[in-house]
Structure 1
Amino acid sequence: MKAIRVKLYQNMVNYRKPTSFQLKETYPLPPPSTIIGMVHNLCEFTEYHEMDISIQGKYYSKVNDLYTRYEFKNAMKYSKTRHQLETGGYGISRGVATVELLTDVELLLHIVPKDQSIVEKIEKAFLHPVEYPSLGRREDLALIEEVKIVDVYEEELKTSIRLDKFNAYVPLELMNSGSIEILGEIKTSGTRYKLNKDYKLVDHGTKRYPKIFRKWNKVEVIYVGNLRAKRGKKVVIDDNPRDLSEQVLFLV
């Protein structure tokens, strides 16, 4: 199959964890749903196109920043002593909250659409974006450093490949298969996440009063670095020969 290989740089970014509110925490790398959303936005797709994503990257440090937070409750009337803003007779509270940011983020992405006929369209969308691309929050702009179509295939390795340039989301099944091992004296299993990938709309209401919710398809991964793809094991690689440490894919 063919994939679009993309290298991105971001100065400061938040890949927000859905369950964080008072402090907007960030994932160490963007989840699959965030990247799939960016691809669909750049390509101006109006229907969902199924795709697998390999996500690798690193960041320099984490910092906390302040932002303006707006809160309101359904049908709560404006109170001069309680609210700072009024709209249509309803009150909105304005205050200060904290957001967690990653700095100097470098990403290596492989995008493998199930429909291979749209590979060139995705490549063109990254090479000539309709607007400046962002990944994470709307203001988290992404500098595209490299875009390339590559062939990806499963291969039994004749020699081990050291993967210590980036951290990665490694699928749980791949980590458990023994194809990938962690280097170093202290063997850790990394951080386990259940990440959103895509969703279906599910109606939990009635015919007269429908209530539509998103039912997310989640993927289990291990966030880990300093890896090695073991000789004699099968892994998915691309045909980019320049840097072996960037050649192995972890598709989710």
Structure 2
Amino acid sequence: MFDLKLDGPKAVLTLCRPPVNAINAEWLAGFHALLDQLEGAAGLSALLIRSDQKIFCAGMDLDHVRALFARADGADAMVGDVSEFQRLFARIEALPAVVVCEIGGAALGGGLELALACDIRIASHKAKLGLPEARLGLIPGAGGTQRLTRLCGRGIASRIILSADTLDGATAERLGLVQWSCPPEALEATVEAVVTRIAGLAPAAVREAKALIAAAGDPARDGYAEEREADRRLFDQADTRTRIADFLAGAR
């Protein structure tokens, strides 16, 4: 269902539940267990989430959807499931490491909502991204309406959600849904270059910067004050002093 490889400051989490990485209760529990491990990984700077299937992730398992609609309490059960999706995706979003998502195939419904919880999305030009729930009389309730609107603005979110539009990777980059898009044959190398670059940055600075980017979207937080305190914490870090000394020595 998953394969996790840790390599110093980098980790690669591969989704491997054939054929489409459909999400069910077992999948959610397994992902939570992996996050328990990753949250305790010292020095982790970058986590790559990818798939070994043709599809990145197709969202909720259709067998589970059928079972829900057969239950008298199906609506309450669905809300419970969506809450679990939201909880998992919130943990991914809050992970101190930079989470990079490699989208080589379709990321639809809950699969795209998973990608939206990541910090950086890199897609193949031929990838398919969309939130088609309105076709089924539902909404993208695992954070899709909120994260997509914050990311791309109300207009683009309305296009994708209210018209159930499916985008290719190149269009998704143009609209700001992904940060990079490239030909399929260049995807692996592009992702590796980005992850390696992130892993080479100062881990403490990356953690502070990620938290501050989140503060920019939270009206209850004073991001400017938090920047000052982050600088204070980083100034006396041994790693910071070494990096600055090396930089100044090279600038002579």
Q: Does the TM-score normalized on the shorter chain lie above 0.5?
A: no
| Structure having the larger proportion of residues in helix | 2
Specify the structure having the higher radius of gyration (Cα): 1
Q: Give the TM-score, by structure 2 length.
A: 0.21
Q: Give the TM-score, by structure 1 length.
A: 0.21
| Structure having the larger proportion of residues in strand | 1
